[in-house]
Structure 1
Amino acid sequence: MMTLQTELLDAISWAAQQGWTPATGGNFSARTGAGYLVTASGRDKTRVQADDLLLCDLDGKVLEGSGKPSAESDLHAALYRMDSTIDCVLHTHTVASTVLSRRFPEGIELSGFEMQKALAGNVTHDATIRLPVVPNSQDMQELAEHVSSGWPMPWGFLVAGHGIYAVGDSIASCRRHLEAIEFLLACVLEENRWS
């Protein structure tokens, strides 16, 4: 039987294999009974292991593990406090999310893509949906305030010039959201190249 820790490690390894965690970038977490498991800072996500995860409480304080939490661990904590339905946060750095979040700082509109149906609550490609983009900040409290002011964001959001934060009510749904968002952004990036 797969444990929460194993499932999170699998998700991190999968994201790294896609090339979405360059230069040790990205951070990943899953809610637990005591708080959340999160990647330690500066760890190579292509070689992630159990001791690369820290257990933190919902205030971001380390309860178990060695090393310091990822630089954006406090944003993960804020998301878990903000919405009790979030059980996983996966954050990656990709070319499409970085470029498009700078080009469309008010959000990225999607319509007519079959893959929209992979995002929870969408049942047709005919709907027009918006992927939110929030301003970037090195101050995690300020960044959390940007996110909070635009909540709810049921699949996650982009941080301008930074990357994707996917959320889900399980690790599996969060992975699905991340993969769908990245695919949709790649489509938009390609369309913009040709227009």
Structure 2
Amino acid sequence: MTDFAHAVRDILQAGQRMDSRGWVPATAGNISRRLEDGAIAITRSGGHKGFLQADGVITVDMQGRPLRQQDVPSAETLLHCQIYRNDPTAGAVLHGHSVAATVLSMLSADPALVLSDYEVLKVFEGQTTHKTSVSVPVFENDQDIARLAGVVEPFFGRMSAGYIIRGHGVYVWGKNMTTALARLEGLEFLLACELERRKLAR
């Protein structure tokens, strides 16, 4: 099996997992994996991630340009490329639109969501105990993806749990698809816990 075929398999499996958890409704979300030749395999624009087929995955270069002229990548491909450029260890990137991420990021104008004292925090790189806090940056949504990328850029190296786009969704990455999925599931669990705690506190 070629490296691209492996990447397609990883992306399809991730799409099914994310869909089963309700994190990629309708045509929301993007999934990508770095290829050995430096290109990026990524979901094409407009497809439902739970019903992906092999032809729903295309390849782009590190600037987000499709390697085949007829392929149309999502505008958010640029955010995936940005992650790969800034983190040479990143092998996979996941972008989802969960209810918890969307609602929590809209409840306040705070520039970050702080998660503290949860056991699951240990899923993120550098965390070895639940007695800690992890700050997840929250960036304002912007349809100008290049401008949004410019806002995100200075935070690289300080986003062990990924980041949230307000009213939109999360970006999480890891050295491979397994690690990226574990971090996404960890972050989504923690966001769901935070949302539930706020409901109960009313």
Runs of 4+ residues over 2 Å off in structure 1: 64-67
The match for 1:120 is 125
2:45 alignment counterpart: 41
Q: 1:164: how far off?
A: 0.7
In the alignment, which residue of structure 1 is the partner of 2:198? Answer: 192
TM-score between the two structures when normalised by the length of structure 2: 0.91
CA displacement at 1:17 relative to structure 2: 1.4
Is the 1:91–1:164 contact (alpha carbons within 8 Å) kept by the matching residues of 2?
yes
Alignment deviations for residues 24-74 of structure 1 (CA, whole Å, 9 cap, x no partner): 100111111231011111111121011000110001111148541123111
Match of 1:159 in 2: 165
Instruction: Measure how far apart 1:95 and its partner are.
Output: 0.8
Once residues 21 and 179 of structure 2 are traced to their aligned partners in structure 1, the CA distance between those partners, rounded to angstroms, is 18
The one-letter code sitting in structure 1 at the alignment partner of 2:125 is A
Q: Quote the RMSD (CA, aligned, Å).
A: 1.6
Contact residue 166 and residue 178 of structure 1 kept, 8 A? yes
Aligned to 1:106: 111
Residue of structure 1 in register with 2:26 after alignment = 23
User: Structure 1 stretches of 5 or more lacking a match?
Assistant: none
Match in the other structure for 1:182: 188
Deviations 1:75-128 (CA, angstroms, capped at 9, x unpaired): 111221222121111000011001111224321111111111111211110011
Structure 2 portions without partners, runs of 5+? none
Judge conservation of contact 2:94–2:172 (CA < 8 Å) in 1: yes
Work out the number of aligned pairs and report it: 195
Identity of aligned residues (%): 38
